Structure formats: C-alpha cells, structure tokens
Structure 1
Amino acid sequence: VSLSVECGLMAALLGPNGSGKSTLLSMLAGSLRPTHGVFRIAGLDVWGSDSRRARRIIGYMSQSDPFYPQLTGWENLSLHAAMHGVRLDKDYVAGLAERIGLSVGDLSRRVGSYSGGMRRKLSLIAALLHKPRVLLLDEPDSGLDPASRRMLVSLLRNLASHGTTILYATHIGDSAIAADIVFFMSDGRVIASGAPEELIERYVPWFVAVLEAKDTGGLVRALRELEWVVGVVERDGGVTVTVRGSSRELAQLTELAARYGLMSLTIRRPSLEDAFIEATGKRLEG
C-alpha cells in the first residue's frame, strides 16, 4: 500500500470489509506494528525514532468504542484526556457534543445506556480531546442516522478547513463522497485514487436518462442513430436511455428530446459505488 494525504484534506479509504482499511489505520495510529514499510504523519516516523511525537498529534477513533459502561460520558472522557496528558476542557467538549448531536445531559449518563450511534459520537469526541493535527477515523458514521451523518460531515469539514488532516475508513460509497480524495482499497491494496467525481468519470462515464415525449416513436428512432447512446428501451410510455458521456451529452440529449415534445426528464448518474465496482470488480458490501 502506498498513499499520501496533503495537510488540511479529508480523505477516505473506501472498500468492503476485509479489504485492509482498519489494519492500515491501526498501523498509522501506532496501534498495530507493521511487518515492513514506513508510516509518516506530518513528516514524523510513526514506528521510528519520532514515534512519541507522532502519536501526540494523532487522534484515533477505532471501530470499537473503548469506554467503561459503568462510567458516565464525562468520566470516560476524563480518563481519555488524562491518557493524552491534557486537562478535560468541558466547554470545548460541550461544543463538540452539540455539533454532533449529543447533549450535556447525555454526557452525564452512564455509557452503558448509550445507543451504538451515541457511543460513536463519544468516540469522536475522545479522539479530539487533545486537538490533534491528524485525525484517523474507522467507520465514524457507523450507527448514525442521516441527520447525525450530516452533522458529522459538517464538523469534519470545519476541522479540515482549520488545518486538520483527516483520513477515514468506510464501506459506504455515500459516506466517501464527502471526501476531497478517495482511495479504493481491495485485498490490502490501493487500486485507484482521486477526487470522487474524478473517479466516477474515469470508471463509469455514462448516465441513464428516463424521458417522456409527445412523439415517443420519433425520439426513439433519433436516439438509436447517435453513437454516444448505448441503449434505448421503451417502457410504460417512456424511454430509458443509457448514454456514454457527461454534461455535454446531457445537453445534446435534452436539445434533441425537445424537438420531439419533451415532457419530462429524469437523470440517474453513476455513483461512487458504481465506480468502485468497475475499478475493482467487487461490491462494497462484500
């Protein structure tokens, strides 16, 4: 595996379970010793002479939530702050909690009463207690509802805008789409990398359009003459068209359909998951 992430960017490791994402993050965080290779964080060798300094600037959120269930959120965070050698700043913690949907009242409850999503939120706060320069997150949105996921992305975006470098692992294409750069991982290797839209255009340069027009027959005949149209299907009074191309072809398609009395047009663009499947030959849930 070879990859690098520039300062202040959000990067995602996207791959199915067992692809090596968690192992890589554990090695970067200094939790799992690698058999070989060099792991550098902000220029510091995580497993070399710089290891102590490197680990002080890393915030790591693993898949497991390392809390004592009989203690409250506050008490658990106090322990984590002590492990990082910092004082627990309750105002800072309360601000973080509010931004990801935890209340001060929640923090006063025993963690054993938390839902899975609440424990993930507490894990994120624990990883941020010492205000790290680099944040490593393993499936950070696991167990979160859609509203909480949006809050999480907003917080991470804000952190990145202030210089925090973020690398997170996910097996969900829609979670990776928020990143500045995505690394496709499969069988312990990085297969491809790039901005989300760049990867989609590279691997799945097509879209599907569903149209309704007054002159359906004329539209179908015209579409079948176009070299960038790779499929035309008439169904339930409408036409489903598979197009090889992007915005230019969409504009041409719309202009053509208008000549035949276009009444409605719905576009389905390929997803990051579609791009992953094309690049690796594997599905993300596998």
Structure 2
Amino acid sequence: MTTVLETLDKGTAYLTKKGIEDARRNMQMLISHQLSCTRMDLYLRFDQPLEETDLAPLRELLKKRGEGVPIQHLIGYVTFHRRDFKTDARALIPRPETEELAEWLIKNAKLPDSPRILDMGCGTGVLGLTLAGDFPNSHATLADVSPDALSLARENAAELEITNVTFAESDLFSALGSQTFDLIVANLPYVPETDRPTLAKELAYDPDLALFSGQDGLDLIRRFIPEAAKRLNPGGWLALEIGTHQSTEVESLLRAASLTDVLTLKDLSGIPRFPVARFSAPEN
C-alpha cells in the first residue's frame, strides 16, 4: 500500500522531471486538496496508506500539472491575504506579488472613515474584495471589461460574504458615470506582445485580454492613468501593478497627470512593481 510520503516523493520527482518549479510544494498542494486537509496536516499523515479512490484522481491531477495546467486551476482556488478565492480560466490567476500590494495599501493608505474604492480590471476580484473586506465601512466598485471575469468576481464575493461591493462591466471608466474614489487600484494587462513567445507555459491558461497590452505592454495603462487621475477625491490614492522595466515611464505618466507623492514600491524580489501616487487638491 502506497503511503502519503511515498506518493509525495514520487509525485515530486515526476513534476521535477517535467520542469515544474517548486515541485514538492505543488505535490503537497495536490495531495492536501485530494485529502481535504492542509499542507501542514500532511506531516502528521506521512505513514497513512492511500486507497485507490484517492490515488486515481491524484494521478490525473499530477498528469495535468505535468502538462502545465496551473496548480490553481487544478485545486480551484488561490489563497490571498487570508481568504480563499475561486479561480479558473475566466480570469488571470492572482499572483503573490499582487498580495504584496494589497497588504501595503491596507497598512499605509490613510483612507477616510467611509472610503470609496475602485478595483479597475478586477479579474477574480482579489484586490477589490480584499480591500472591501478589510475596510468594512468602505464601498468598493469592481470593474472589468470581461463579463466572464465579473461573473467569477461575483461568485467570490458571495462565497466570502462580502457585501459592500458593486460590479460594473466597463471599458475603463466608460460605464462608471461621474463617480469619484478615495482609492483606485488596478492590475491591468501589462505584458508586451514581444514577450509572448517566451512566456511560461502556464500563462497560456490565462485570458489574453488579461495579459497583453501592445508592443511595450503599456497601451492600456497610458489610457488609464489620465482618466483615473480625474476620478480621485482630494488626498485619494492611485496604485498599480506593472511589469519589469516599466516603472520609469509609468512614473512619468503619473506626474504628467498632475499626481503627487509618486513612487514605485519594490516587490519581494526587488523588482519595481507597484507605482503609487496621490491627488493633492490645489490650495485655495
């Protein structure tokens, strides 16, 4: 009878051979998903024999992961700032870097007592729903041009019982009327078309609409920043996620839109990843 530890070791070796990064963690996630336990629980169950009723679906999951299907699609969720979000092919898989942005904003953005928040290009909803959940007196609008992404974000809001949100199918601000906000966050597509041939195979499972934005990746951001600047309340924050080597131009766009306190925060890998800026109303 095959034990949990033997299955973990064999699966890790298989994924390593297939070129999957962080193979052991991936295999731990697959086993814990199949056994409906946490990864930490596995350490207490290493000697547990696995029945064929568990081994058969595990083999299928392992095969798909070896083919490059993202682990998040296989287990059906991603953990983001203490909450589990459903994720599938309808939207971009949330990245750990985005969680860093959410946590920085929760800690550092000094918002009014009842702030209005906008998550533009919300995808699964991880940014907007995290902020809405951690600022319970806020009202958050989650906007996306993709109806499929919005349907996934709505499902996540319902599952997490986060109710201080509304949803809008919108090409940037086209469907948002004259609304203004105290915090606008955006993880818009920023991958250059020129990078398409070199991307990791897992990214093939993300929608193109959520990844690519022109030859240098900044087409949509160039449209977005001037519009977003006009929608900020006095003292309001604008925060984005961008790609490698894009910070200098994005900072210039923010300053050209008359925003202040412009800086780009580095992610845990040291990459300038999160430009933030504020709207300072002119003094009378």
Q: Which has the larger radius of gyration?
A: 1
TM-score norm. by structure 2 comes to 0.30
Q: TM-score, normalised by structure 1?
A: 0.29
Which one has the bigger strand percentage?
A: 1
Give the number of the structure with larger relative contact order, counting CA–CA contacts within 8 Å between residues 6 or more apart: 1
